Structure 1
Amino acid sequence: MTSPIQLARTYARSYEASSRKDKGTILDTVTEATGWTRDHARHQLRSQFNQIRAGVSLDAVVDRRRLKPKKFSPRAQLALELVWKSFGRPCGKYLEAGMSDCLDSLERHGHLCEGRHGYSSSVRRELLNISAATIDRYLRGAKAGDHDDSWLTGTGAGMRASFPRQRMRSLLEPEPGYFLVELLTIKTPTGEDCVTVTFTDVEIGWVQTKTFAPGTQVVDMLAQMVRGVPFVVTGVLLPPAVPDSAITTWAEANLIEIHCTSDLRQGPRVPDRTFSGLDLPLGTPHATDAAIIRVNGLWSALADRLNYFMPVKNPVGWRLTPSGVRRREYDKPRTPVSRLIASGILCPEQTRELHEKSRGLDIAGLTARIAELKSTLH
């Protein structure tokens, strides 16, 4: 089979000797056969002609990129794939930002040990120095052969991406505690409504999700969600149709501010991208309670992985590129738990508890638990 370079050499002499019109025809032929762009094909044809004129044989032409030594060792590349799978298969930019926390957890729980499977302190240094683009390049083959069902790898990520923080700064204190609330209603086999509630802290990205049994009042759902947050909730942003007198009374009694998305946005409300494609297999009526328990276990594991390991970044302003285009600027990616501790709103006992839980979490164990629970919900 003729390689692209061989094909370019075949047409090189005739290309140089042809008229402008005939050169265009040759370029069409080469680009169609090789998939190259016209600029690259033109460059290769001229390069091959110069090599022919210099007496360089085709066998002597070497692709320098393939002979260039790789910056990272094969052992580091193997360890990178293990870390990527343990982390829940994120993209390179998030894996790069969370690499240190992930390696600490894997080492602490015995998944990566010195001297086992080629892992060492030098491999760790390589992984900590690897860039996001290099991560994606090295994992290209692993991603192509990976058929893991990727629905709901994180919860709350859709709201993080879609919520316009800059439009509600007048309501926000520069500290955690203000939560965006999303409700997803699913019909059970008995025709009742089973509601899933997600709280997402707008400032630090802390996420908490829970599915409630049919018949649970919205005010009771909100009360349970607030009790489950490990810090003080100062306000909630609800969908327009949710607030009622019972919720207002409860919020006033707990010193919690209530706002609606319709108060802050023009047009459609915040997209429900977090739960897109989600279909809870609640089965028969008697299996509903068991399914809710399983899915709440999934929410808990996903939230732990997201809150303690997955970095997030917040918009901090705008900048102008050299060409005069406005680009959004972001702060340094950090995990929600690190942002929470750095905020200074926690007492020493709460900080100690969060540090202990963080050290006790096994990222590989969490990911295995998530995969197990997801398999039971299909």
Structure 2
Amino acid sequence: MILNDYLERYTTARKQDKGWILDEIVVMTGWSRDHVRRLLAQLIRGQKPLPEDTDEPRHREGKYSHEARAVLEKVWDWSGRQSGKYLAAAMPVLLDALERHDSLQPGEDGYGPEIREELLSVSPASIDRYLQCARTCDFATRNVSTRRSHAPSAEFLDFAGGENENEPGFFMADTVAHAGSTVGGHSVITLNATCLHTGWVFTRSLADNAPDRVADILQWALDEITGIPFWVNAVELSNACERVHEAVGSWARALDIHYSPVPKDHRRDRLPEASKHQHLVHEYGFVERYDTEEARSALNHLWRAVNDRLNFFTPIRKPVAWSRDSAGHRKRIYDDPATPLARLRDAGVMSPVQEAELITYRNSLNPARLSEEISQWQTRLTEITATAG
């Protein structure tokens, strides 16, 4: 019996490790956690957990149907494979979008009103538990919904806090050279900017780091609904050369935008240092060398889909306070997960027309299609790299 193989490990494991052992057995057997826990407890007490004339355990139906779990795995994949905490928060908007674009149709593939209600009621912990097998089986090729970038400087954080604590428009920007492991030489440059208060993301690749190009792409972002559709109060640009800082500084002063330059760090552009930073650009665009117009075009198609998924369908949490745990250690307290669009609407900085435009644009997006586009352009980048190599 499977339980006998795990019994010794379970009895000697620490409390926090027993949960992982239970999860492994649940994935292998399909039983509920409570059923597995009871069987193990009976074995520990020396009791036989099953009748002697049967080799199979008595199966207890889980709280959620098999159809709901199958649809959950699809929605998780289309969402960018978010963790349960964020997927549960995004579930209503994801289901609405998927139904709107017929990726989920009542009466097809087991989906219907009852399954929708199950998905809306499933807890974050249950989501993580039901998806554990899918995560471990396909971990290497995941398309994670990450938004990691450089941390703001203390000066910029202080400027964006205080009276501006909940006001959108304070952006941390970063230039990332797609130089791979090569030192020097021409390569494509990607500019990534993230709003400190809403988590709104803008990413765009440039042919090079010419000063005027960086300033022009920031201006373009302000003029496009798919760029940065609200006013920018301040920008902290990291990892750019002095000439780029001068050009962006001039652009910012002309628009009365506060500008904070951070000196360039060449180590962040190359392996192995680049991989340690786990920047959003490296997660989705990989740590490879791109130096052609074809690669830049593929990257920009990729960023369009990534930006839309992160801004409209991927919740984030913000730290709001500190507390202490039972051992007296400090720990962060976070607010409830919410998408950047939801946080932007709550901030009340948009006009009714701007808000309506963003809602209309979000309603035009299909999370399933965005997932396909991201995979498609990542595959194309891999092909370009292989050809160049």
TM-score of the pair, normalised by structure 2: 0.75
Secondary structure of 2:176's counterpart equals strand
Supply the distance in 2 between the matched residues of 1:371 and 1:225 (Cα, whole angstroms).
24
Aligned to 1:26: none
Aligned to 2:259: 258
The more displaced of 350-359 and 81-90 is: 81-90
Q: Give the conservation status (yes or no) of the 8 Å contact 1:165–1:202.
A: no
Q: Does 1:346 align with 2:347?
A: no
Supply the distance in 2 between the matched residues of 1:214 and 1:57 (Cα, whole angstroms).
68
Aligned to 1:336: 340
> How far off is 1:45 after superposition?
6.5
Aligned to 2:290: 282
Q: How does 1:87-102 map to 2 (within 5 A)?
A: 87-102=79-94
Q: How does 1:248-327 map to 2 (within 5 A)?
A: 248-261=249-262, 271=277, 273-276=279-282, 278-280=286-288, 282=290, 288-327=292-331
Encode CA deviations 1:226-279: one digit per residue, 9 max, x unaligned: 4431111111012276454433322111111012458xxxxxxx9463334623
Q: Give the conservation status (yes or no) of the 8 Å contact 2:252–2:259.
A: yes
The more displaced of 84-93 and 354-363 is: 84-93
Summarize the Cα distance change of 1:351–1:62 in structure 2 as closer, same or farther, 3 Å threshold: same
Summarize the Cα distance change of 1:175–1:165 in structure 2 as closer, same or farther, 3 Å threshold: farther
Summarize the Cα distance change of 1:4–1:350 in structure 2 as closer, same or farther, 3 Å threshold: closer
Q: Give the conservation status (yes or no) of the 8 Å contact 1:280–1:377.
A: no
Q: How many corresponding residue pairs?
A: 333
Q: Looking at CA atoms only, which structure, 1 or 2, has the larger radius of gyration? A: 1
Secondary structure of 1:35's counterpart equals helix
Supply the distance in 2 between the matched residues of 1:272 and 1:85 (Cα, whole angstroms).
21
Encode CA deviations 1:13-43: one digit per residue, 9 max, x unaligned: xxxxxxxxxxxxxxxxx97xx4333379x96
Structure 2 counterpart of 1:213, which letter? A
Summarize the Cα distance change of 1:167–1:35 in structure 2 as closer, same or farther, 3 Å threshold: farther
Aligned to 1:36: 10
Structure 1 counterpart of 2:175, which letter? L
Structure 2 counterpart of 1:168, which letter? L
Aligned to 2:231: 232
> How far off is 1:314 after superposition?
0.7
Encode CA deviations 1:144-188: one digit per residue, 9 max, x unaligned: 33366236x346x1128x557898244341211010011111349
Q: Does 1:135 align with 2:127?
A: yes
Aligned to 1:158: 148
Structure 2 counterpart of 1:303, which letter? N
Q: Give the conservation status (yes or no) of the 8 Å contact 1:154–1:303.
A: no
Aligned to 2:202: 208
Q: Does 1:168 align with 2:157?
A: yes
Summarize the Cα distance change of 1:164–1:310 in structure 2 as closer, same or farther, 3 Å threshold: farther
Aligned to 2:271: none
Q: Give the conservation status (yes or no) of the 8 Å contact 1:183–1:196.
A: yes
Q: Share of identical aligned residues, percent?
A: 32
Supply the distance in 2 between the matched residues of 1:94 and 1:166 (Cα, whole angstroms).
30
> How far off is 1:44 after superposition?
6.1
Summarize the Cα distance change of 1:148–1:110 in structure 2 as closer, same or farther, 3 Å threshold: farther
1:110 to 102, 124, 138: 102
Secondary structure of 1:313's counterpart equals coil
Encode CA deviations 1:198-240: one digit per residue, 9 max, x unaligned: 0000000000001101263243344344443111111101227
Secondary structure of 1:181's counterpart equals strand
Q: Give the conservation status (yes or no) of the 8 Å contact 1:208–1:303.
A: yes
> How far off is 1:280 after superposition?
4.5
Q: Give the conservation status (yes or no) of the 8 Å contact 2:249–2:259.
A: yes
Q: Does 1:361 align with 2:349?
A: no
Encode CA deviations 1:260-310: one digit per residue, 9 max, x unaligned: 458xxxxxxx94633346234537xxxx11221111010110010000000
Summarize the Cα distance change of 1:71–1:250 in structure 2 as closer, same or farther, 3 Å threshold: same
RMSD (Å), alpha carbons: 3.4
Summarize the Cα distance change of 1:371–1:261 in structure 2 as closer, same or farther, 3 Å threshold: same
Gaps of 5+ in 1: 8-29, 263-269
1:184 to 176, 179, 185: 176
Supply the distance in 2 between the matched residues of 1:46 and 1:233 (Cα, whole angstroms).
62
Supply the distance in 2 between the matched residues of 1:71 and 1:355 (Cα, whole angstroms).
35
Summarize the Cα distance change of 1:231–1:165 in structure 2 as closer, same or farther, 3 Å threshold: farther
Q: Give the conservation status (yes or no) of the 8 Å contact 2:192–2:203.
A: yes
Gaps of 5+ in 2: 19-39, 264-275, 383-389
Secondary structure of 1:168's counterpart equals helix
2:74 to 72, 82, 92: 82
TM-score of the pair, normalised by structure 1: 0.77
Supply the distance in 2 between the matched residues of 1:240 and 1:356 (Cα, whole angstroms).
35
Structure 2 counterpart of 1:316, which letter? V
Summarize the Cα distance change of 1:193–1:143 in structure 2 as closer, same or farther, 3 Å threshold: closer
Secondary structure of 2:45's counterpart equals helix
Supply the distance in 2 between the matched residues of 1:295 and 1:184 (Cα, whole angstroms).
13
Q: Does 1:69 align with 2:61?
A: yes
Supply the distance in 1 between the matched residues of 2:222 and 2:334 (Cα, whole angstroms).
29
Summarize the Cα distance change of 1:238–1:46 in structure 2 as closer, same or farther, 3 Å threshold: closer
